[in-house]
Structure formats: structure tokens, C-alpha cells
Structure 1
Amino acid sequence: MMVIIMKADCSTDIGPVRASNQDTCECGLFSPNSAWGIVCDGMGGANGGNVASAVAVEKIREIIISEFNENMSKENIRAMMLNAVNRANDAVHQLSLEKEELFGMGTTVVLMIATKGLLHVVHVGDSRAYLRNEEGFCQLTMDHSYVQDLVNLGQITQMEARVHPKRNIITKVLGVHEEVQGDYCQVNFSPGDIAIACSDGLSNYMEDDLIAEYIDRYRSNGSLLARQLIQYAAGNGGADNITVAVIRND
């Protein structure tokens, strides 16, 4: 009997305010021991945002599924993930040049791959990845945003950034320019650990300690955890699309 160690779940919701959902997410298992998840938050008008996030997810999924194998070194996994994001950038950017109504569209991205006791993450923009383990709860990614730059410079606090009038300005995005450089990190991912990726429709409306509390409450069911996080954000003034991907190392 095959024992499934990794589990992957994801969910997206239009939210209570928006007329369309510009977020896209997908997740799955390469094998019982290896999982992946992708979250993209599109921008560039209703049509542009929808297309950008969908094209990016499709291209990234295509590449990682065709190229990943469990014998890859950590360095090769990193290179594959960064290449997948670059190829997605090419696809979105090229389409934006071919169709006038899509010009300028772009998307954030968080790509997670969990395998061999490690979680690999590549991101562009202000969608985030978090890790819950026995040591606590932490944000793995740093937003590519105007307000995060102000925080880094010591000009505002993280709490001030949450309500800053320019908090939606993103400083790096996939698809708008010919090239983009994603940020990469890797962390230990041990049995019992849980990682989530989310669009800012969650992180803007839910404090970190409450996200951690929900993870602990619903940790045995990743699909329910994703839905409960979305439900909370939607009911807490959520004015955006809300998307969550969950990878659990059982």
C-alpha cells in the first residue's frame, strides 16, 4: 500500500467586492513524497489580470511537471523553478504585446515545491509564502512593494505598511517587462510542517498570528484550512480576490 506523505490543496474565491477573479492557483503531487503549489494574482484590468495569472500558472505547471524528478539536486530544483518563472514571464509579456487589450498586464507569483525534507520557494510581487513548524510561524517571502521598501528603509513600521495608502504599488511583477528576476529561498520542511502561499487578498485582511492559529486549528485538512482562511478574509472587509495554496508534510 502506497503511503502519501505530502498533501497539496488550493482554493480561490472572487471575494465579496470584485466583479471578476484575477487570481489563479493550482497544486498537486509529483509523487507521494513531493508536492507543488502555485499562486498568481493578476493585474492589468479585468481581462488582463485574468489572462496573466492563468497563462503564468499554466506555463509554470507545464515546466515543473515535465522537468522535475526526485533525484534532482537542490541547485537544479532552484534553477528549474527560476527558469519556469522566467518562461512564464516570456509567455505573459509576449501575449501582452500581441493583443492591444492585454498590453501592460502582469501577475505576481509564488511557486512552492516540497521534496526531500526541503521547501523551495520562488516569488515575484506581493503574494506570500508562510511556514508553520515546531519553532513557530514565519513569512518566507519579502514583498516586492513600495511599502516594503519603506519598511526596509526604516521609514514606516510593518503595522503602518498594512494601512498605507500606497500599499498596492508593486515594484516587481511578472509579465510587464522582458525580464524578471524571482527571489528564491529554501527551508527545512519536516514531518508536521505546513506551508501556505497566498495572494494579498488574504495577507491584507488577516494578521500573521491569526493565520497561524487557523493553521493549527485545521491542520489535518488542507482543503478545509484554505476555505476557512478565505472565509475569514472575505468576512473581515476583504475587498479583493482571495487565494490560498497549502502543502502539508504529514
Structure 2
Amino acid sequence: MKVAARTDIGQNRDMNQDFIFVSENPVGNLPNLCVVADGMGGHNAGEYASQKTVEVMIAQLMRGGKESIKEQIRNAAYQANQTILDVAKSDQKMQGMGTTLVGVVCDGAKATVFNVGDSRMYIIRSNGISQVTEDHSLVQEMVNKGEITSADMKEHPRKNIITRAVGVQDELDVDFFDLELKEGNLLLLCSDGLSNMLKEEEIQQVVYNRKISIELRVEQLVQMANDNGGADNISVILVDPFA
């Protein structure tokens, strides 16, 4: 397994509210873990929410347990959710904060993917790219209802409204996806600062360029997102499960 990751402030933000975590080594009982969190909130609340969510999850996961990978992740996300809610209740400046969450655990030819919000995971093959996660967003709901097309999502004026996030409600519903991986498959986790700035075909072309290292591919994606406007913070994690 080989991983390359980068987070960048972009062109239009005063601070980076994204937070990324990468461990190719075990995290508690998990064989490895990669996470992207995209925070929201005024002052430095979004920055706090994304980092604190990941830190609380890691601390919880490090304790281990006999539960399945999914249950351990669900419990860790729940602990993080409660922590963010408690801080928001005790500090007026932090009210309204929250964060997206997308992550993956790779175990041989299997991968467990989880998400809350509109940060995404893609699987990239030699012949194409597929979004694994489904956005928890207003525009995704509109697509599901047939009110707009997928192509309309990036330009829609309400594209930034998410319908699910960590730290917003007492209940937290985490989506899980099971992947069967094949040699040559690559996994990409990202915040919407990347997915809103690049077409999926552009992402696929860069990610599957075997002539350059995965580190350079990540750098190239971030640069392209910035060249296209860099409207938001940009976070990218690229995983080669079989390297």
C-alpha cells in the first residue's frame, strides 16, 4: 500500500478548514486509515471541527475493540459528533460548526469506505472513474428526484448546502460501502475543493498517469484545482492499495 496526500488553502479562503489524516500502519485494530474532513463555521470553528473530529476518532479507534471495522468507525464518529456538539454548546463562537467526513480502510483486496457530507471517494481504473460515495447535499437530493442533472450540480447556486455533517445533530448517520479491489485500482479521497474544480475525466487522466509518482499526481491535481480558480480549500488523498 502506498499513499500520497496534500491539503491546500486554495485561492479564495483566509484559512484552511480541511483536515487530512493518513496512516499506512495500524490504527488500533484497523490495518490502516485515510480520512478527509472539510470543516464549516465562522471564525476558526470549521478548522477546529474538522481537526477535532479526526483526533477524537483516532483516539477512540486506538483503544481497539472486538467490534467490526464498521462498528468501530461508527462508534468513533459518534464520539466525535458528541464532542463537537458539546463544544458548540459551551462556546458561542463555535455554534453552527460541523464537518464532512470521508475515509477508507484497506485490507488486502477489500476496502471499507465511509462518509458523511459531500467529501468524496472515487475508484479509478485504467478505463474510467466512479464515485463510490453519494453526497449528502441538497443538489444530490435534487438529482435523485430528477429535478436537475448531475452535470448541473457544480454550477447550481445551492451546491454548498449539505444535508448531513458531523457536529450538527445528536444523531449521526454514517454511510458505508464495501469495495472489492483489483490490481491496478486506485482510490482517491477529496474535499469538494477538488471535485467542484475538476471534471471527473480530468481527475482520471491525472491519477492514472503511471509515468509519474503518486506524489506528483496529487500535486498536479491540487495545482489544476488552483489554476481553475481554487474557490475552496483543496484536499486530496491518493491510495494505491497494491503498491
Normalising by structure 1, report the TM-score: 0.90
Task: Find the counterpart in structure 2 of residue 61 from structure 1.
Answer: 58
8 Å CA contact 2:104, 2:112 repeated in 1: yes
- 1:76 matched residue in structure 2: 68
Aligned partner of residue 162 in structure 2, secondary structure: coil
In structure 2, what is the equivalent of residue 90 of structure 1? Answer: 82
Letter in 2 for 1:215: V
Change (3 A) 1:163 1:219: farther
Q: Which runs of 4+ in 1 moved over 4 A?
A: none
Q: Are 1:50 and 2:26 counterparts?
A: no
**1:40 maps to 2:37:** yes
Deviates more, 1:10-19 or 1:183-192: 183-192
- Write out aligned runs for 1:104-183 (5 A): 104-134=96-126, 136-183=128-175
Preserved contact between residue 130 and residue 137 of structure 1 (Cα < 8 Å): yes
State which drifts further: 181-190 or 201-210.
Answer: 181-190
Q: CA deviation at 1:104?
A: 1.3
Amino acid at match of 1:10: A
Contact 1:35 1:247 in 2 (8 A): no
Q: Structure 1 residues 157 and 81 mapped into 2: Cα distance closer, same or farther (>3 Å)?
A: same
Paired residue total? 239
Counterpart mapping for 1:184-195 below 5 A: 184-195=176-187
Unmatched 5+ stretches in structure 1:
1-5
How many percent of aligned residue pairs carry the same amino acid? 36
| Superposed CA offset, 1:9-37 (max 9, x none) | 22100011111000000101125x94321
Deviation at 1:233, TM superposition (A): 0.3
Q: Corresponding residue for 1:235?
A: 227
Is residue 19 of structure 1 aligned with residue 14 of structure 2?
yes
**Contact map agreement 1:8 1:35 (CA 8 A) in 2:** no
How big is the shift at 1:150?
0.4
- How many angstroms does 1:81 deviate by? 1.5
Look up the SS of the partner of 1:67 in the other structure: coil
Deviations 1:71-129 (A, max 9, x none): x8xx8111112222112111111111121110110000002111131111110000000
| Cα offset, 1:224, TM superposition | 2.1
Once residues 231 and 56 of structure 1 are traced to their aligned partners in structure 2, the CA distance between those partners, rounded to angstroms, is 27
Q: CA 1:55/1:187 → structure 2, altered by over 3 Å: closer, same or farther?
A: same
- Output the amino acid matched with 1:41: D
| SS of residue paired to 2:33 | strand
Q: Secondary structure at the match of 1:217?
A: coil
Q: Are 2:190 and 1:201 aligned?
A: no
In structure 2, what is the Cα distance between the partners aligned to 1:146 and 1:234?
25
User: Aligned partners of 1:144, 1:219: CA distance in 2, in Å?
Assistant: 35
CA distance in 1, matches of 2:212, 2:115: 26
C-alpha distance 132-219 of structure 1, shift in aligned 2 (>3 A): farther
Change (3 A) 1:234 1:215: same
More displaced 10-residue stretch of structure 1: 218-227 or 207-216: 218-227
Instruction: Give yes or no for contact 2:42–2:93 (8 Å, CA) kept in 1.
Output: no
Q: Does the alignment pair 1:29 with 2:24?
A: yes
Taking structure 1 as reference, are residues 197 and 158 closer, same or farther at Cα in structure 2, changes over 3 Å only? same
Does structure 2 retain, via aligned residues, the 8 Å contact 1:7–1:35?
no
Deviation at 1:198, TM superposition (A): 0.4
Work out the CA distance in 1 between the residues paired with 2:143 and 2:75.
30
